[in-house]
Structure formats: C-alpha cells, structure tokens
Amino acid sequence: MLLSFRWGKENEAIALEALKKHLKCDAVKTPGLYIHHEKPYLGASPDGIFDCKCHTNSLVTIKCPFKYKNGLPQPDRSDFCMEMVEQRWQLKRNHIYYYQVQLQLEVCKMESCHFFVWTQQATAYERIERSQTFFNDNISKVEYIYKYGILPELVGKFYSSIEEGDRGEDNNTGADDQDNNTGAEGQDNNTGVEGQDNNTGAEGQDNNTGVEGQDNNTGANCQVDCYCNLISCTKCYKNFHCKCLRIPNDMNEAARRTWKCPSCHRLK
C-alpha cells in the first residue's frame, strides 16, 4: 500500500473524532456502498452520515493529506484542495474533491456535506450544500465515459482484446512496416533473415508456433487467420476482423461507436 493511502486509512478514525468534537455531535454512523436509484452505474461510499436532528440529511467526507500531515499550508498554495475565501477555508470548486462531494450527495440523496481536512497540527472545515445544477451539468460526461469506455470493456473486453499489432505498429519497434525485434524493413521477428516467419526461421509457419495453419487473433468472432484491426459490435459486444467484413481499417471513431454487426443490424 502506498504511504499516502496508509496514512489516510490509519488516521481517518482520528480525524472523524476531531470532526465530531468540532461540531459537538457524535451521532455519526459509518455507511456502506450507496447505489444511485436511477443510474446504477453511479455509487458512493461517504466516510460517515449524521444520524441526528441537528445535522439532518448530511454526510461526511474526510481527507488526511500525507503531504501536509504536519499542518495546513499557506492559503495560496495551488496544490492544496482548499483556499481562503472571506477568511474561511473553502473547497476549490474546480477541484476533483468537489466533484466527489457532489456525486456523493446526489447518490445518497443528502442535502449537505461536512468536508473536513485533518492534519496533526490544524484542521480545515466547510459545510458544502448540494448543487443539482452542478450535477446536471456534468452527468453527461460521466455517462459518456461509462457507455463508451467502461461498459464495452466490462462486457466484451473491447480495448484489452485489441493487440498491439492491430494498432498499426508492430511489437517492439514503434514503426510501421517493420517486423518485431529487428528495426529493419522486410525482415521477420528475431531472425534478421528475409522470408522467414517469427521465432521459427522456417518459411510458411505461423508466428510464435512453428506450426502451419494455427489461428491468430482468436478473440475475433469470425475465427479466421487475419492480422487486420478488430472492431466490436456496440450491441452484442462481439469482436470481428475488419477485413472479413470489408470494413476500412481507418473507420473514424464516431462510426465505431455506433457500428453493429450484420446479425444485430438485421434485428434492429
């Protein structure tokens, strides 16, 4: 575990007790994972939720920065999450922690967050109100990342199934039209001899096998020998060789995000 993570984990309970003392209330319960009731891909685990009438509908977010473990920095430090506004500490509205707080408030359906930064010598505190406008303005970005980044990888391994050779560059060279481990055009991998296949030295054998007729890119649904790029169906999430379906390798990203395989296209 990283030193900064261990520091935060070890001191979170101490910081929570300091916050209780600051607010003169110890009615804080430790929650688990909350899932958004309409958007199940959103979740939050706040550091605490108040269970009292004096701090109703409010949660707790605690930070124990290892970098400033011995005390708070000067207010003008650009690398600190808070700044001084009208003689009070305030979480910067463009900081990632502010996005985290607003997400927690939305998922947990709370109205305010007690944001608390703890150090060994001093603390900083702000009560942050829920901003529905801020959430609405930013949720489209989150949905885009989930739909086109996270979901295709979880369901169909869209990104990890694309081998390095399918991205237009051969392995260990970084240059087009050069074979692996040589740096010379027209020579095959680990041989330096023209006309020999990878790791074998024998003509007519497939890469890394020495056996004629073995498949490569077996992650493709069409299951044929091919070294072209892969494309993933946005409906069934199966992978296909572009060459097998006569799809240009240079298909733009916008078209890839809406592409459906022939079977799914007929079903729509």
Cα gap 29→47, rounded to integer Å: 9
Task: Write phi, then psi, for 232 (nearest 5 degrees).
Answer: -110, 135
Question: Measuring CA to CA, how many Å separate 130 from each of 46, 86, 88, 105, 198?
Answer: 14, 21, 19, 6, 60
- Region 88-96: mean pLDDT is 96
Question: Are 33 and 46 in contact, with CB atoms under 8 Å apart?
Answer: no
For residue 216, what are its two tokens? Answer: 């490569």
Residue in this structure with the two tokens 């890839």, named with its chain if needed: 256
Considering the domain architecture, whether residues 129 and 18 belong to the same structural domain is answered as yes
What CATH number does residue 224 fall under?
3.30.40
Considering the domain architecture, whether residues 138 and 251 belong to the same structural domain is answered as no
- Residue ranges with strand state E in the chain: 28-29, 34-35, 43-44, 48-50, 58-63, 82-85, 88-91, 112-118, 123-129, 230-232, 239-241
Question: Measuring CA to CA, how many Å separate 20 from each of 111, 124, 244?
Answer: 19, 13, 64
Residue in this structure with the two tokens 């060279």, named with its chain if needed: 173
Considering the domain architecture, whether residues 247 and 226 belong to the same structural domain is answered as yes
Q: How many domains does one find in the chain? A: 2
Considering the domain architecture, whether residues 125 and 161 belong to the same structural domain is answered as no
Residue 126, in any domain of the structure: yes
For residue 99, what are its two tokens? Answer: 């996005």
What pLDDT is recorded for position 7? 93
Considering the domain architecture, whether residues 164 and 134 belong to the same structural domain is answered as no
What pLDDT is recorded for position 239? 84
Residue in this structure with the two tokens 């575990």, named with its chain if needed: 1
The secondary structure of residue 68, as a DSSP letter, is G
Cα gap 7→11, rounded to integer Å: 6
Cα gap 142→59, rounded to integer Å: 22
Residue 210, in any domain of the structure: no
Residue 51, in any domain of the structure: yes
Dihedral over Cα of 61, 62, 68, 71: its sign: positive
What pLDDT is recorded for position 42? 96
- Region 92-102: mean pLDDT is 97
Would the pTM of this model clear 0.85, i.e. be above it? no
Considering the domain architecture, whether residues 99 and 164 belong to the same structural domain is answered as no
Containing structural domain, residue 86: 3-150
Considering the domain architecture, whether residues 26 and 146 belong to the same structural domain is answered as yes
Residue 138, in any domain of the structure: yes
Q: Average per-residue pLDDT in the chain? A: 79
What CATH number does residue 141 fall under?
3.90.320.10
Residue 222, in any domain of the structure: yes
pLDDT single digits (tens) 74-84: 988 999 999 99
If DSSP states are collapsed to H, E and C, what string results for 134-148?
HHHHHHHHHHHHHHH
Residue 230, in any domain of the structure: yes
Considering the domain architecture, whether residues 129 and 164 belong to the same structural domain is answered as no
What pLDDT is recorded for position 220? 57
Considering the domain architecture, whether residues 122 and 161 belong to the same structural domain is answered as no
Considering the domain architecture, whether residues 41 and 91 belong to the same structural domain is answered as yes
pLDDT single digits (tens) 104-113: 999 999 999 9
Category of 35 on φ-ψ map: left (φ > 0), alpha (ψ -120 to 50) or beta = beta
What pLDDT is recorded for position 43? 96
Residue 108, in any domain of the structure: yes
Residue in this structure with the two tokens 């916050």, named with its chain if needed: 19
Strands 112-118, 58-63: pairing is: parallel
Cα gap 70→63, rounded to integer Å: 14
Considering the domain architecture, whether residues 57 and 25 belong to the same structural domain is answered as yes
Most confident of 48-57, 107-116, 159-168, 236-245: 107-116
Considering the domain architecture, whether residues 10 and 140 belong to the same structural domain is answered as yes
Residue 30, in any domain of the structure: yes
